[in-house]
Copies of this chain bind each other. A is one copy, B any other.
Amino acid sequence: MIKKIAVLTTGGDAPGMNPAIRSVVRYGINQRLEVMGVFRGWWGLINEELKPLSHRSVSGIIGQGGTILKTARCPEFRTAEGQSRAAETVRKYNIDGLIVIGGNGSFAAAHEFYKKYNIPCLGIAASIDNDINGIDYTIGTDTAVNTALDAIDKIRDTATSMERIFVVEVMGRESGFIALTVALAGGCEEVIIPEEKMDLNLVCHDIVHGNLVGKMSWIIVVAEGAGKADDIARQITEMTGLETRTVVLGHVQRGGRPTAVSRDLALNFGKIAVDCLIAGKADIAIGLTSGKIAEVAFSVAIQKKELKIENLYKLIKVLT
């Protein structure tokens, strides 16, 4: 029977981490567990920066972006020394289970930590890139997508008024999920993603041909992992002779009030994660799969996710 758990957030922050923390803390306390909050991810475990969280300590955070536990990169946790010190902290504080709110990299680290020290680790899938294998939807993605969509709707106003070509770079180092989703929802003319080789000649041909029949404004969405907006814009200008502007949305996509979807997933994931720890489960991540909350083994979750893009990609082209 477990008595005390700890929760931490690692990797890039994602909107919805705060409601996830709220759920872990309040549901944990409801289940008669003590819940400790670890600050700055693995760093806090190594450096003994943690404290008990009360019901009230998570008041008013449900609608806030970011994470009250803060997050940080921690190269030290990749060393045996760092892991050993982290494990020591876990034992010192009699922590029976660890809930790790984060993405791929966080789960890989948790997986290793579990295997090495047999400390039960549970993951909550939080990543704006939605790039966790075996999981259809993570905390933060919906918020990031809507933020990017807002921006694209705004850019459309200028693109149409000034009859310009825009290349808009969205997040997604290894995944084109945000780019595809936003390009579809924003009625964008073209999308460039890491999963698919792009023939820029073809794009430019479309633009030139479109211009001839009166289509003067274009928005081309590019996932950051598939190229730099500036490079692509320069090439388009070279090939078509048309002025091309760029916008790099960047970190704006990470923040902001979480949407209803991001909050509801976070709150449900948090509850299930605590349930899993109580049930003696470990080494798994919680996410949404096929419309249901699912448990996915860390070993599966950290594999490269294949994005099925063909249909979506075709649809974007047909609808513009």
Contact = CB atoms under 8 A, between A and B. Distances in A.
A202 to B, nearest CB: 18
A166 B27 contact: no
Interface in A230-271: 245-257, 259-261, 263-264, 267-268, 271
Contacts of A292: 290-291
B146 A259 contact: yes
User: In the assembly, how many copies of this chain are there?
Assistant: 4
A145 B146 CA distance: 14
A67 interface: yes
A22 interface: yes
A72 B159 CA distance: 11
A172 to B, nearest CB: 15
Interface stretch (A76-84, A85-93, A179-187, A204-212): A179-187
Most buried by B among A70, A186, A319: A319
A288 interface: yes
A66 interface: yes
Interface stretch (A57-65, A103-111, A116-124): A57-65
Contacts of A182: 260
Chain A contact residues (Cβ within 8 angstroms of B): what range?
35 or more
Interface string A148-166: 0111011111101111001
A190 interface: no
Given A248-B248, A251-B247, A267-B319, A65 B154 contact: yes
B319 A158 contact: no
Given A157-B254, A247-B251, 16 more contacts: A22-B187, A22-B319, A27-B315, A66-B156, A71-B161, A136-B291, A146-B260, A153-B256, A154-B255, A155-B251, A156-B255, A166-B251, A245-B251, A248-B250, A259-B259, A288-B291
